[in-house]
Amino acid sequence: MQPKDNLQTRKVNALAELGEKIFLDRYAIKDAKKETLSVGDTVVVCVNLKTGQREIGTVERVDRENHQVAVKLRDGTIETRAIEHVDKPLETVPEQMFERIARHIASVELTEELKQEWEGRFRELMDDWKYVPAGRIFTGAGTGQNLTYYNCYVIPSPQDSRHGIFDTLGQMAEIMSRGGGVGINVSTLRPRYAYVKGVNGRSSGAVSWASLYSFVTGLIEQGGSRRGALMLILNVWHPDVLDFINSKREAGKITNANISVGITDDFMEAVKHDEPWDLVFPDNSDPLYKDHWDGNLGRWKSLGGKVVKHKTVRASDIWESIISSAHASAEPGMYFIDRANYYSNSYYYADLPCTNPCGEQPLPAWGVCNLGHINLAKHVDFSKNDVDWNKLKRTVQDAVRFQDNVIDATPYFFDENFKQQISERRVGMGTIGLAEMLINLGLRYGSDSGVEFIDKLYQFIAITAYETSVDLAREKGAFSQFDAEKFLQSGYMLRMPEYIRHLVRSYGIRNVTILTQAPTGTIGTMVGTSTGIEPFFSWTYFRKSRLGVHQEHIKLAKDWLAVHLGQELPDYFVTAMDLAPEEHVRVQAAVQRWTDSAISKTVNAPEDYTIEQTKKLYELMYDLGCKGGTIYRDGSRDEQILAVDHNKLGKDVAEQINNQKAKAETVLSTPPQPTPAQPVPEPVPAPKSASQPQMIRISPRKRPDVMHGSTYKITTAYGNLYVTINEDEHGPFEVFSQLGKAGGFFGAQTEAICRMISLSLRSGIGLPDIVEQLKGIRGPDPVFHNGERILSLPDAIANVLENHLKRGQVELPLDFAKTVEVPKINPEPIFEAVTQELRGVGNAFVAQKVSVANNGHAPACPNCGNMLMMAEGCMKCDNCGWSKC
């Protein structure tokens, strides 16, 4: 077929500036060898080598002799970069990508006639962004590269042995090295202190091995594109569950994974009635243990396997521990594991022990995420103020066939994934643009009328999808594990209309599951609509560019205000934080009713939301039929905008200085040898009191106009840290730092630390004393630099200072010609000096609550440095489109 490329089509598929950048940078095919690069080409150029910031431009000059390219950016500036930092997309408009994908996905049809028909249908499906396949499909389909079209995987729970644990580690690492996310349920691993017969020792427990998986995930991220993602689940009956619940709040445990507790129905009943709860684990001396223990406790008991009761606690104590941790840091999440398996169409041949990292896909061992998204915002009939039901029906029908074809078109790296997926043909078709559709129809997200509409909408999508899968079974055959009577007894099929059940019984069905709701941060941002089933996060946001920071508005709100001059947005224009948390849950439950898989969604709550309210909200989530969920309380994690409070900043830093009081007393009370070249500061008397007869104020040494120094580069978890140490004739005088990647909070943190160090050096504190205080401070994301373990940003700075001393650059003490011995030091003058020094830090943020900033999760986007936000159970960036999921 000839490409459908005309001006009208291009206008329909046009993207805004950010969307175009995402398309060209992430999804368009590139000229990898730069052989066709020439003047006039549209390119993506890296304008900041430290942060990786990329911009769109046009080639002005190509200097192949010197391997350089001059690019004119959209703002008119010229950037000259090495050729390797310039990418030339071979696809410059979305239509070219659509053609490539449609042709490839249709190529698995059985006849030439069908191939041609469905190439056209799939091409039309994607036009106007009515249907948006997952990013991996955009990236890989039809490129000829051996790239998988699946984003995430669940792998088998590790066998409870050293070999089993490390086999799972190898599988996880292999998948992550290819950019895939992984889910693992670690409930198969014996609890802490359990006897290990083979080595006559005791086990370190499930959480310690979970920490290993988390640690390796961090290593893979540091070495690659930071796309590795890990979900770890431990079931609520496991003896280590309390340790697991608190693992994200303890330094050095699980830091590079999402965690969820597998919640069973009998546990929820025990919570409801405040009953005792046994923490149990199979008897590992049982002859059945080695070959039959797979993490399913119910099946183990049915086989007659012995169970050891390790401890009895009150179910409410575990529940409150989960709630308290979730209230503080949004983790652990909850996976209602019995419910997920009861409503699973595959219940009779495969357990769903775990979800993918974002939680929308409960999967069997070796199951995969096969994702695509209907853009609901493109299915509104404005003339009728209603859904264009006929258009939506055709989109659903074509999308189900599209995703079913993906199963046959994608490469597979693991035979186990191929066997599993071919035998069940699992599809995950979801939606984007729900919030935009509701606004266009004048319905408030979360209201009674809004929830009633959502129920009707998603029932229509589900019924159409199942009708289509039945038609595909009649044409191509049902999935090989299909058993009509068992399939129809799943909890999901029992709620389906009888005529759908009749169709399935009569003709079979092509796909074991069809529907999901995935996080769509990058794709939703590219297309310019609300992501997943989430409301818009905010009507305004800030974008950083070479020209500064600019406030921008969501187009939907901007267009409405342009037509309704002088008016405020109506009440159905709501954002995530405008909604009551219960409204979030009601929407999630309405969508879950008609979704055979699960949902990735964030329930946003205000900062003053209490632990008791959080508890009731999770109970509401369970009572309304959700399969899991995450509650994010504003202020509970560092991935929010931290409040500026200069007064508190001064006090917090002063408290740190006060810890150095004993050392400062020694410096001030011990007469050093005078140095002629050193200016002598005059003592400043402090106010007299009964307890404090006389004080001294320190005057820091003045800075010379010219200084010499050394700059050191060291690796940290947040990018390369560059530390500059300047000296005068008396030794180290000041320290500066530049954090290459993170920016935001951690950039401010390192600048604050270095300003403190500089003030201390200029005030007579010895460099070894400073090193002693900073060295060894632990963070959750340690890295290795030249064979040394760097524990945190303060530890990295201490490492540089220590190595500077070892090179023979010996610092000299600040000398005083006159000293006054005093019994006690008043820290207030030091507070004042520090506060004055730090007021120059423009973005000195202070977390008002205990923040997991201290646990190593940076609030800034690793791609552009903009502030991240939490939506769909996932962190994403509105500035550049980066998404953690």
pLDDT value at residue 803: 85
308-335 residue pLDDT tens? 999 999 999 999 999 999 998 889 999 9
CA-closest candidate to residue 172, choices 185, 187, 189: 185
Least trusted range by pLDDT, from 204-208, 554-558, 598-602, 687-691:
687-691
Taking the C-alpha atoms of residue 114 and residue 117, their distance in angstroms, rounded to an integer, is 5
Answer yes or no: are the C-beta atoms of 868 and 639 closer than 8 Å: yes
Residue carrying the six token digits 């405008």: 578
This model's pTM is above 0.95: no
- Return the C-alpha torsion angle 289, 295, 299, 302, nearest 10: 40
In this predicted structure, what is the pLDDT of residue 100? 98
Listed residues 363, 379, 398: the one ending a domain: 363
Q: pLDDT value at position 688?
A: 41
Determine the average pLDDT of the residues in 140-146.
Answer: 92
pLDDT at 294: 96
Q: Is the dihedral of CA 618, 619, 621, 625 positive or negative?
A: positive
CATH number for the domain spanning 78: value is: 2.30.30.140
Q: What is the pLDDT of residues 198-209, one digit of tens each?
A: 665 678 889 999
What pLDDT is attached to residue 244?
96
Which pLDDT score, from 0 to 100, does residue 9 have? 56
Kindly state whether residues 59 and 167 are assigned to the same domain: no
Calpha distance 524→134 (Å, rounded): 11
DSSP-assigned states of every residue in 66-118: TTEEEEEETTS-EEEEEGGGEE-BS--SHHHHHHHHHHHHHTTSSSHHHHHHH
Q: Which of 86-95, 104-113, 381-390, 694-703 has the lowest mean pLDDT?
A: 694-703
670 and 803 housed in the same domain: yes
Does residue 511 have a pLDDT over 70?
yes
Looking at the predicted structure, is the pLDDT value of residue 417 above 80?
Answer: yes
For residue 332, give the nearest of 597, 611, 629 by alpha carbon.
Answer: 629
- In a 13 Å sphere around the CA of 11, the CA atoms on its Cβ side amount to 3
Distance in angstroms (rounded) separating the CA atoms of residues 463 and 200: 58
Q: What is the pLDDT of residue 862?
A: 59
Please indicate, yes or no, if residue 132 is contained in any of the structural domains: no
Q: Is residue 572 part of a domain?
A: no
Q: Is the residue at 15 inside a domain?
A: no
For residue 228, pLDDT over 70 is answered with yes
User: What proportion of the chain, given as a percentage, has pLDDT over 90?
Assistant: 59
pLDDT over threshold 60, residue 163: yes
- Please say whether the beta carbons of 356 and 153 come within 8 A: yes
Rounded to 5°, the CA angle 141-144-146 comes to 85
- Residue 167 or residue 198, greater confidence: 167
Angstrom distance (rounded) from CA 120 to CA 114: 10
Q: Judge whether 860 and 743 are in contact, CB under 8 Å.
A: yes
- Give a yes or no: residue 408 inside a domain: no
Determine contact, residues 657/759, Cβ cutoff 8 Å: no
Q: Whole-number mean pLDDT of the chain? A: 83
Q: What is the pLDDT of residue 13?
A: 85
Instruction: Please report whether residue 40 resides in a domain.
Output: yes
Q: Are residues 354 and 251 in the same domain?
A: yes
Quick one: pLDDT at residue 850?
Answer: 33
Same domain, yes or no, for 66 and 163? no
Q: Give the highest mean pLDDT range of 248-262, 441-455, 565-579.
A: 441-455
- Looking at the structure, tell me whether residues 164 and 292 fall in a common domain: yes
Q: How many domains does the chain have?
A: 3
- Six-digit token pair at 771? 């090193």
Any idea what DSSP says for residue 709?
A: E
Q: Which of 107, 174, 217 is nearest to 413 (CA)?
A: 174
Query: Which residues fall within 8 angstroms of residue 842, CB to CB, at 6 or more apart?
Result: none
What would the pLDDT profile of 821-870 be if each residue is shown by its tens digit?
434 444 444 444 434 443 433 333 333 333 333 333 445 665 665 666 66
Could you tell me if 837 and 699 lie in one domain? yes
Same domain flag for 677 and 814: yes
Residues 159 and 69 in one domain: no
Please tell me the predicted confidence (pLDDT) of residue 537.
Answer: 86
Which of 45, 73, 90 terminates a domain? The answer is: 90
**Poorest-confidence range of 30-39, 536-545, 781-790, 870-879?**
870-879
| Helix, strand, or coil (residue 760) | helix
Tell me, yes or no, whether 653 and 783 share the same domain.
Answer: yes
| pLDDT confidence tier of residue 819, bands split at 50, 70 and 90 | very low
User: pLDDT at position 704, please?
Assistant: 79
**Interval 518-545 mean pLDDT:** 85
Determine the distance from the C-alpha atom of residue 675 to the mean position of all C-alpha atoms in its chain, rounded to a whole number.
55
Q: Position 285: which residue type?
A: S
User: Could you tell me if 244 and 314 lie in one domain?
Assistant: yes
What is the per-residue pLDDT for 677? 39
Query: Mean pLDDT across the stretch 774-783?
Result: 77
Q: Which residue has the tokens 């901007």?
A: 558
pLDDT for residue 681: 40
- Do 657 and 731 belong to one domain? yes
Residue 563 lies in a domain: no
Most confident of 140-154, 541-555, 808-822: 140-154
CB-CB neighbours of 846 under 10 Å? 19
End-to-end Cα, the chain, rounded Å:
35
CA distance linking residue 132 with residue 527, whole number of Å: 9
CB–CB of 866/542 below 8 Å?
yes
Note the pLDDT of residue 766.
83
The whole-angstrom separation of Cα 622 and Cα 613 is: 14
Task: Indicate the pLDDT class of residue 18, thresholds 50, 70 and 90.
Answer: confident
pLDDT over 50 at 816, yes or no: no
Give me 185's structure tokens: 């349920």
Alpha-helical (H) ranges within 807-871 are 828-838
Contact present, 296 and 157 (Cβ < 8 Å): no
User: Is 104 inside a domain boundary?
Assistant: no
| Winning range, highest mean pLDDT, from 3-7, 496-500, 520-524, 601-605 | 496-500
Q: Count other Cβ atoms within 10 Å, centred on residue 662.
A: 8
The whole-number average pLDDT for the span 650-660 is 39
Residue that terminates a domain, selected from 90, 125, 160 = 90
What is the spatial distance between Cα 556 and Cα 537, in angstroms, rounded to a whole number? 13
Sorting pLDDT into bands at 50, 70 and 90, what band is 711? confident
Same domain, 689 and 800: yes
Q: What is the pLDDT of residue 521?
A: 86
Task: Please tell me the least confidently modeled range out of 45-49, 301-305, 380-384.
Answer: 45-49
- Give me the CATH number covering residue 204: 3.20.70.20
pLDDT grade for 250, boundaries at 50, 70 and 90 = confident
Which residues are known to be catalytic?
A: 356, 358, 360
* Least-confidence region, from 243-252, 290-299, 734-743: 734-743
Helix (H, G, I), strand (E, B) or coil at 281: strand
Which segment, 100-114, 552-566, 866-880, is predicted with the most confidence on average?
Answer: 100-114
Can you spell out the DSSP letters for 642-701?
PPP-HHHHHHHHHHHHHTTHHHHHHHHHS-PPP-TTS--PPP-BPPP-SS----B---PP
Neighbouring C-beta atoms of residue 741, cutoff 10 Å: 22
Is 550 part of any domain? no
Q: Label residue 682 by pLDDT band (50, 70, 90).
A: very low
Domain that holds residue 81: 30-90
Amino acid type, 282: P
- Cα–Cα distances (Å) from 555 to 171, 373, 450, in that order, read 44, 21, 22
Q: What is the reported pLDDT for 48?
A: 84
